């Protein structure tokens, strides 16, 4: 295995791409020592999540794209620019790629502003221009007021905001994210998902590739999903295709939460969304209360779904007509797959006794209910 290549064999054959909008990234490469051989494409200007079990090869793919690892077979390219092949590799600093990990890795001897300005300065921008870009990026992630602070005086969430700003200050074609929220508490991670989703969708959009084990990251950030197991590609598609109908045990576990996307109808501490004709009411988790038609995501556990043969009144409740599509035993419980009237799919968890009492079978009509306090609504 080759790591940290310093020079390309012939720089003329590896031209540095311009830092404009993102281009498609193709990885048709492998590293024998890591038992990774993949062939996958990451669409230009979209956000792609790489998912898979620990040791599947996700971080190896990021390493080959960033230049921290060199393939010993195949090639890695972004648009027309070949990043690496089996014999040569463009060094990391010559690739229009920014990488963000769970550790911010800010320069401790620099201020926040100078940390963010470092990338533009390294690309020969004037000090004044680099600082202007840095202030813009800090403002974009809600950290403008931190500009003059020492990097050592920040909280974990503040440090990660600054790290996001620093990664994007060079206007990279490709942005790599390796579990950037895993070291943060739930509330801080939720805020940063919102910040990052908004920033990464600004034009010109880079091509974004991120590794995560959190289904909320996938549903709230991703446009596309690539699934890796045992060093090989096992599937790719939209978020709904990959998590709505999981083809492997890992994807099934990853999609363990019921997640429905839609648009806001009413907002406040309690928000109502329209998910393709299905109305859901739950507790709003965003910083601000958005207006109608704002994209949103709802999340609720299968264990919170109650099933009844007739609709039960109560407030505040969500009640939907549904049809049983599948019943799957998992240990001491049974998972009930349901199709709602709008065509969306959710799951419920019942005991075998409850399944028998309700006389459930594939095709059975049923009413599904969830309390509003058990549904969380997130900005998307």
Return the higher-pLDDT residue of 180 and 379.
Answer: 180
pTM: 0.71
Question: Tokens at residue 22, please?
Answer: 């993102």
Return the higher-pLDDT residue of 198 and 350.
Answer: 350
What is the rounded CA–CA span in Å between residue 306 and residue 348?
7
Which helix (DSSP H) or strand (DSSP E) does residue 101 occupy?
strand 97-101
- Across 230-364, where does the E strand assignment appear? 232-237, 258-266, 270-275, 278-284, 295-300, 306-308, 317-330, 333-340, 345-350
pLDDT tens digits, 255-289: 677 888 889 988 888 889 998 888 999 988 766 77
Where are the domains positioned within the chain?
2-96+172-254, 258-379
pLDDT tens digits, 240-260: 778 766 667 677 677 677 888
- Per-residue pLDDT band for 10 (boundaries 50, 70, 90) equals very low
Domain 2-96+172-254 and domain 258-379, same fold? Reply is: no
Could you say which architecture CATH assigns to the domain 2-96+172-254? 3-Layer(aba) Sandwich (3.40)
Looking at the domain covering 258-379, what would its CATH class be? mainly beta
Name the burial class of residue 232, with classes exposed (0-12), middle (13-18) and buried (19+) by CB atoms within 10 angstroms of its CB.
middle
* DSSP string covering 316-347: TEEEEEEEEEEEEEETTEEEEEEEETTS-EEE
pLDDT tens digits, 298-339: 888 888 999 999 877 665 579 999 999 999 887 788 989 999
Return the higher-pLDDT residue of 95 and 6.
Answer: 95
* DSSP string covering 119-180: HHHHTT--HHHHHHHHHHHHHHTT-GGGTTSBGGG--HHHHHHHHHHHHHTT--SEEEEEST
- DSSP 8-state secondary structure symbol assigned to residue 34: G
The pLDDT value given to residue 45? 93
**Mean per-residue pLDDT, 370-374:** 91
Which residue carries 């709505």 as its tokens? 244
């Amino acid at each position: 295995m080759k790591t940290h290549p310093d020079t390309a064999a012939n720089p003329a054959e590896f031209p540095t791409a311009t830092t404009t909008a993102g281009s498609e990234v193709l990885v048709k490469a492998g590293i024998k020592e890591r038992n990774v051989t993949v062939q996958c494409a990451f669409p230009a200007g979209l956000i792609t999540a790489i998912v898979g079990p620990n040791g599947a090869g996700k971080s190896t793919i990021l390493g080959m794209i960033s230049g921290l690892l060199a393939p010993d077979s195949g090639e890695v390219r972004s648009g027309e620019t070949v990043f690496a092949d089996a014999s040569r590799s463009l060094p990391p600093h010559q690739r229009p790629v920014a990488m963000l990990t769970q550790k911010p890795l800010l320069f401790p001897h620099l201020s926040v502003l100078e940390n963010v300005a470092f990338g533009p300065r390294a690309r020969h921008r004037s000090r004044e221009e680099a600082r202007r870009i840095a202030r813009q990026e800090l403002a974009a992630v809600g950290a403008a007021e931190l500009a003059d602070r020492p990097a050592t005086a920040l909280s974990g969430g503040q440090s990660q905001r600054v790290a996001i700003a620093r990664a994007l200050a060079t206007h990279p074609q490709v942005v790599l994210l390796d579990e950037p929220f895993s070291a943060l508490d739930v509330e801080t991670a939720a805020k940063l998902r919102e910040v990052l989703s908004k920033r990464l969708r600004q034009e010109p959009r880079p091509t974004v590739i991120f590794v995560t084990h959190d289904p909320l990251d996938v549903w709230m950030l991703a446009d596309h999903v690539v699934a890796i197991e045992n060093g090989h590609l096992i599937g790719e598609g939209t978020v709904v295709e990959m998590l709505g109908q999981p083809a492997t045990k890992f994807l099934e576990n990853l999609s363990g939460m019921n997640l429905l996307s839609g648009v806001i109808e009413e907002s406040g501490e309690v928000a109502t969304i329209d998910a393709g004709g299905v109305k859901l009411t739950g507790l709003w988790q965003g910083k601000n209360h958005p207006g109608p038609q704002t994209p949103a995501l709802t999340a609720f556990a299968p264990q919170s779904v109650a099933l009844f043969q007739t609709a039960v009144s109560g407030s505040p409740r969500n009640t939907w007509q549904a049809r049983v599509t599948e019943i799957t035993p998992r240990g001491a419980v049974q998972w009930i797959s349901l199709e709602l009237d709008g065509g969306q799919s959710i799951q419920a968890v019942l005991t075998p006794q409850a399944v028998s009492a309700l006389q459930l079978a594939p095709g059975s009509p049923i009413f599904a209910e969830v309390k509003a306090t058990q549904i969380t609504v997130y900005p998307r």
